[in-house]
């Protein structure tokens, strides 16, 4: 296999991975430097854990509802908004810009959390 072919295969793989990521996270914005990293927030007992999550730019955060009751994940500043998530359903969002993103559950607004993107 020539060097050129390897390069093409490598490029194709990268594109495929990028497409897969895009397919799984329709709310994703164009990434300047996709890190491809992911981080988890669990919804348990009407609370987000961890309540404050710190990630690097390009990280996809995945929220999973583990309660018997539906919840939502809604950015306080209107940056992202999930549909209602029932038990074991997930929501993900890829953070492409540094900043602090406070969010809450619009069904149970006492539930709040934030993502700090560095």
Partner 1 sequence: MTTKKHNLIDQRLQDLNDDGVDRRGFLKCMAWAGTGLVWTMSGGIPASRAFAKVYGKHAGKGGDFSFVQISDSHIGFSKPANPDVTATLQTAINKINAMPQKPDFIIHTGDLSQLSKPSEFDTLDQALKGAAAKQIYFVPGEHDMLSDNGEEYLKRYGKGTKGSGWYSFDHKGVHFVALVNVANLKAGGMGSLGHEQLEWLEGDLKGRSASTPIVLFAHIPLWTIYPDWGWGTDDSEQALSYVKRFGSVTVLNGHIHQIMQKIEGKVSFHTAMSTAFPQPAPGTAPSAGPMKVPTDQLQRVLGITDVNYLVSGSSLAIVDSPLGDSGSSASGSGRGLAVVDSLLG
Query: Binding partner 1 by CB under 8 A: which of 11, 29, 46, 97?
Result: 46
What 8-state DSSP symbol labels residue 2? -
Closest approach of partner 1 to the CB of residue 71, in Å: 10
52 binds partner 1 (CB under 8 A): no
70-109 positions binding partner 1, by CB under 8 A: 70, 72, 76, 83-84, 86-87, 102-104, 106-109
Query: Binding partner 1 by CB under 8 A: which of 45, 56, 100, 118?
Result: 45
Helix (H) or strand (E) holding 103: strand 99-104
Closest approach of partner 1 to the CB of residue 63, in Å: 15
Strands 47-49 and 38-44, by their bridges, are antiparallel
Strands 112-117 and 99-104, by their bridges, are antiparallel
Distances (CA, A) of 115 to 4, 34, 44, 99, 110: 41, 17, 17, 8, 17
Q: Which residues bind to partner 1, rule: CB under 8 A?
A: 45-47, 67-70, 72, 76, 83-84, 86-87, 102-104, 106-110, 112
């Amino acid at each position: 296999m020539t060097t050129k072919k390897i390069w093409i295969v490598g490029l194709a793989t990268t594109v495929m991975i990028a497409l897969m990521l895009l397919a799984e996270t329709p709310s994703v914005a164009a990434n300047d430097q996709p890190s491809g990293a992911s981080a988890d927030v669990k919804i348990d007992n009407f609370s987000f854990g961890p309540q404050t999550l710190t990630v690097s730019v390009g990280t996809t955060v995945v929220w999973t509802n583990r309660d018997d009751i539906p919840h939502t994940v809604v950015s306080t500043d209107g940056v992202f908004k999930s549909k209602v998530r029932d038990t074991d359903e997930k929501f993900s969002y890829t953070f492409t810009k540094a900043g602090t993103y406070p969010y809450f559950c619009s069904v149970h607004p006492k539930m709040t959390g934030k993502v700090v993107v560095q």
